[in-house]
Copies of this chain bind each other. A is one copy, B any other.
Amino acid sequence: MENGARDNGNALLFLTDAQLRKGIEAMFFAYRGFTADPDRILEDLAYGRAHHRAIHFINRSPGTTVNNLLSILGVTKQSLNRVLRALVEDGLVRSEVGTRDKRERHLFLTGAGEELERRLSDAQRDRMRAAYRNAGPEAVAGFRQVLEAMMDEESAARYAALKELKG
């Protein structure tokens, strides 16, 4: 109860509460680093992480509908709408009425939107690349494996849905 490896010699020492706590704290601080660089860019533009996420996933699947985006992000339409409106007004996102179904709006990045996307993801990728390079391929495989096992059901479904797009 106190200790996940109470009677297993040392094969399961990586499952002790102390080890788990370290993992929890590492996850907390690493997520800070993960968002720090884009955050710095965004704050000059009066945007926040919500805008970054919208831009990321519109770039990821151009032409996606509002509803698609909603189900990936897992927020309410009112919340997303506030963000999307700002991005459209500022000329970073283009919203096209659907041809097959005119109720739908298909979302695309404009040139300016793509430029900002590149700045943001370059910053985030640079940090990720440095961490990957530093840790090496085996560590990266482990990293991905643990992350995927840590997702809750909803997040895992959203993550899986993305994979069906490009790879």
A33-B155 Cα distance, complex, nearest whole Å: 7
- Report the bound CA distance from A18 to B129 in whole Å: 11
Say whether A151 contacts B14, CB under 8 Å: no
Given contacts A29-B151, A34-B150, whether A24 and B137 have CB atoms under 8 Å apart is no
B-chain residues with CB within 8 Å of residue A24 when the two chains form the complex:
34, 121, 124-125, 128
Chain B residue numbers with a CB within 8 Å of A140 are 14, 19, 23, 142, 146
- Decide if A142 touches B150 in the complex (CB within 8 Å): no
**Once the chains bind, are B149 and A145 in contact (CB under 8 Å)?**
no
The contact size tier of chain A is 35 or more
A132-B30 contact given A143-B142, A143-B147, A147-B143, CB 8 Å threshold? no
Q: For A112, list chain B residues within 8 Å (CB).
A: none
Whether A85 is near chain B, meaning CB under 8 Å from some CB there, is no
Q: Is the Cβ of B128 less than 8 Å from the Cβ of A23?
A: yes
* Structural contact, A146 and B125, CB atoms closer than 8 A: no
Question: Which one of A92-100, A101-109, A156-164 is at the interface?
Answer: A156-164
Write the residues of chain A forming the contact surface with B, with a CB cutoff of 8 angstroms: 4, 14-15, 17-34, 36-37, 53, 74, 121, 124-125, 127-135, 137-152, 154-156, 158-159, 162, 166-167
